[in-house]
Structure 1
Amino acid sequence: MLGPDAQEVLTTRNNLASAIGEAGNPAGARDAYAALLTDLERLHGPDAPAVLTTRNNLAEWIGQAGDPAKARDALAVLLPDRVRVLGHDAPGTLATRASLARWSGEAGDPTRARDALASLLPDLVRVLGKTSPNTLRARASLAWWTGKAGNAAGARDALAALLTDRVRLLGPEHPDTLESRAWLDRLSR
């Protein structure tokens, strides 16, 4: 029989926390990730990759549960730890930078979100490539926050370029392509 600290149990708890959130209960996911984080830190220390990933997931669900400022703050504390442990170009570090940008915008600072994404995008292109799904999502987010920061023309231009690339890479009926088209249509009215 497995004990509560067995890796299989911890993995199941992680998967359950994610499923709780995906099922529409972000506060439940937040609470499950918080409890898991306590146990992972006790077992593996603060710098273990699983701990860093769980901190990122916890911040995401804090934001989803309605506290974007707390999510932003948690990610701002996490980012230097990810850079120190994983490196500047690690996928987890890049993901935390993208999340920090998002929650900065959601917390009311679209200019900070835009600027963070503008800084992140060249690193994503260099590390993941310009056709990576993560790079394309970051371009979409950059366009979104550019518009929210008051530059509708810049957002429209960025979305038009992104739409062209998404049609070419994903096809005209892919959900991401359709989303870009809908955003561009709204901005063009």
Structure 2
Amino acid sequence: MPAIILLCRGLFGKNIWTLNFRHNPTSNPPIQSHKVSHIQQKAFEEGNQAFSSTYTWFGRVYRGMKDYARALEYVEKCLAIRQKMLHERHPNQATTCSDIGDVHRLLGDYKKAIAFHQKALNIQENIECNPLECATTYTNLGETYREMKDYSTALTYLKKGLQIRENKLPKNHPDLAVMYHALAKLYLATHEYSMVMKNIQQAVEIAQEKLPSNHPHFSAYKETFEEIRKKL
């Protein structure tokens, strides 16, 4: 079978499953992942640039499942390919560095997390790239510094991420809910309860409109909302 047909089958299956996973977090990614990987292995040799986006996808799926070791394995594979195939200031290199940094944050290795996020920003702030990707890096850095209890630095980065997303996205976009929740957690840590309530209410309102009731983000927003209600 021609390689292009195999590739299209793989990408079609990957995209359909990705949409399903966003709306049904209990679906089973490993089965779909191996199907896509098997198709690509028939179409291309290992190390082909076509694998990089698939490895990114695998990494994000496993990160969502909280299998951080496996997530790191895949995003590092992606970076290895992109470092060979792309110039060092390519925006896709920055995206992958930010992904790796976020996995290191989730693993509790904040020094590595910051290093990779700074690598990403060194590219994103000095070339023309998708500003929403830069917003993600700012957000990831903000979350990292919040977990390190450096709240002033965390707030600086989260506000940068929020400003970009508010300028580029509809007011009810789920990615804005992510920002409002991140800010709510920060203000909760600094005991600024009025700001916590303002931001968590915005996150919950967007989630009620845009996310299924069993989505993990929606559950997290409601948990934060209940936590702050108990403190008031």
TM-score range, shorter chain: 0.7 to 0.9
- Residue 21 of structure 1 deviates from its aligned partner by 4.0
1:66 aligns with 2:108: yes
1:76 to 118, 127, 130: 118
Q: Unaligned 5+ residue runs, structure 2? A: 1-42
- Residue 178 of structure 1 deviates from its aligned partner by 4.8
Asked whether the equivalents of residues 173 and 206 of structure 2 are also in contact (C-alpha less than 8 Å), the reply is no
1:97 aligns with 2:138: yes
Change (3 A) 1:161 1:91: closer
Q: Unaligned 5+ residue runs, structure 1? A: none
Change (3 A) 1:134 1:166: same
Asked whether the equivalents of residues 111 and 146 of structure 1 are also in contact (C-alpha less than 8 Å), the reply is no
Which residue is 1:185 aligned to?
Answer: 226
Change (3 A) 1:95 1:86: farther
- Residue 92 of structure 1 deviates from its aligned partner by 0.9
**Partner letter of residue 30 of structure 1?**
L
Please show how residues 5-84 of structure 1 align to structure 2 within 5 Å: 5-84=47-126
Deviations 1:74-119 (A, max 9, x none): 21232131122234x6221111111111111122323322332233
SS at match of 1:85: coil
1:109 aligns with 2:172: no
1:2 aligns with 2:38: no
SS at match of 1:101: helix
- Residue 141 of structure 1 deviates from its aligned partner by 0.9
Asked whether the equivalents of residues 4 and 10 of structure 1 are also in contact (C-alpha less than 8 Å), the reply is no
**Partner letter of residue 2 of structure 1?**
F
Identity of aligned residues (%): 14
TM-score, length of structure 1 as denominator length? 0.80
Asked whether the equivalents of residues 49 and 81 of structure 2 are also in contact (C-alpha less than 8 Å), the reply is no
- Residue 20 of structure 1 deviates from its aligned partner by 4.6
- RMSD across aligned C-alpha pairs, in angstroms? 2.8
Give distance in 2, aligned partners of 1:35 and 1:112.
31
SS at match of 2:177: helix
Structure with greater contact order relative to length (CA < 8 Å, sep ≥ 6)? 2
1:146 aligns with 2:187: yes
Q: How many residues align?
A: 187
Deviations 1:14-54 (A, max 9, x none): 34444454454312322332243133112212122332221
**Partner letter of residue 117 of structure 2?**
L
Give distance in 2, aligned partners of 1:106 and 1:149.
12
Which residue is 2:159 aligned to?
Answer: 118
- Residue 67 of structure 1 deviates from its aligned partner by 0.8
Give distance in 1, aligned partners of 2:95 and 2:135.
12
